Amino acid sequence: MHTLDATKTVLTMSANNAPILTVDSGDVIRLETLDCFSNVILSETQLFSSVGWDQVNPATGPIAVRRASPGDTIRVDILNIAVANEGTMTTHPDFGALPGTIEERTRKISIIDGHVHFDDHYAFPIEPMIGVIGTAPKAAEIPTGTPADHGGNMDTKKITIGTTLYLPVEVPGALLSIGDVHAAMADGEVAVCGLEIPACVTVRVTLVSGRPLPLPFLVTPTEAITIASREGLMDAVQEATRMMRDFIAENSSLDKTEALMLLSLKGNASISQVVDPLVTARMEVPRSFFAAYGISETIEV
């Protein structure tokens, strides 16, 4: 197993970033991540405005995969996410789903026995997830805080332990980077952050030849999920739905109209986040109906 500490991070996903590690297909990597504030907020007296944008959303990497070529896919199995015992939340009146209605504030929140202790009244189990995970795009650099077709800051709470994420290879080696772990985050991320926290993430990275799936594509124990990030929420919902509809139609006896009918009955259009430079939506379908139509939603290599 390869190990990486969090001393090598990037703030953009780019073909110009030199890999800090090169792995073979099927290798397991254990990597440390900083929180989205680069671990610089140490107390509740420090506000978000004190953190420079050059310190926001660092991602550990990039990691190159040998023989990965443009047009291929990488499969990332998320084996474990171990989080620290304290996380940070910040708010700012210019950001979030309700700008102009809140104060700038910082909260330090403890994790005790696997539970988030929001205050003396309410505690709940952690649900660790990865906010930033993506490969290098083939064209311009994309900040790690921005989601797009390469992945990036999708802030999708279902990218968690026991799931598999498929991402595009657009440049030689793919150049995978991971960061922005949350101990908990609800759909929407309406206050502009989850419970931001340093973490140790363990993944297996496998090279898949070609593009057998619409990307990004997430598989959980019970669901198959297409993810899309666009400027407007309706555009993101439409693209995630189109990706799933077309995939079903191309791999089953259903035509596009029938596939959309089925999605209207059993597919859930969900919001991942509405606070990043592009917003992210997903289309979730039960793996049981994939099985009913003989569709393979996992790629074994």
Same domain, 110 and 229: no
Residue 301 has pLDDT above 60, yes or no: no
Provide the H-helix boundaries in the chain.
233-250, 256-266, 287-292
Write out pLDDT tens, residues 261-271.
999 999 999 99
271 and 125 share a domain? no
Q: How far apart are the first and last CA of the chain?
A: 19
> Residue 300 — pLDDT band, cuts 50, 70, 90?
low
Q: Which of 62, 59, 81 is nearest to 23 (CA)?
A: 62
Counting the structural domains of the chain, the total is: 2
Verify that 182 and 249 share a domain, yes or no. Answer: no
**pTM reported for the whole predicted model:** 0.97
Say if residue 299's pLDDT is above 80.
Answer: no
In a shared domain, residues 195 and 257: no
Residues 202 and 245 in one domain: no
Task: Say whether both 14 and 148 belong to one domain.
Answer: yes
Q: Could you tell me the two tokens for 87?
A: 């996380």
CA angle centred on 239, ends 234 and 245, rounded to 5°:
125
Same domain, 204 and 232: no
CB 183 within 8 A of CB 201: no
Q: For residue 87, is pLDDT > 90? A: yes
Q: Which one is predicted more confidently, 213 or 139?
A: 213
What CATH number corresponds to the domain at position 246?
3.10.28.20
Average pLDDT for residues 157-181, to the nearest whole number? 98
> Does residue 77 lie in a domain region?
yes
Of 194 and 297, more confident: 194
Of the residues 148, 179, 208, the one at which a domain ends:
208
Give the residue numbers spanning the domain of 195: 2-208
Mean pLDDT of 272-292: 95
Residues 30 and 163 in one domain: yes
What value does the mean pLDDT of the chain take?
A: 96
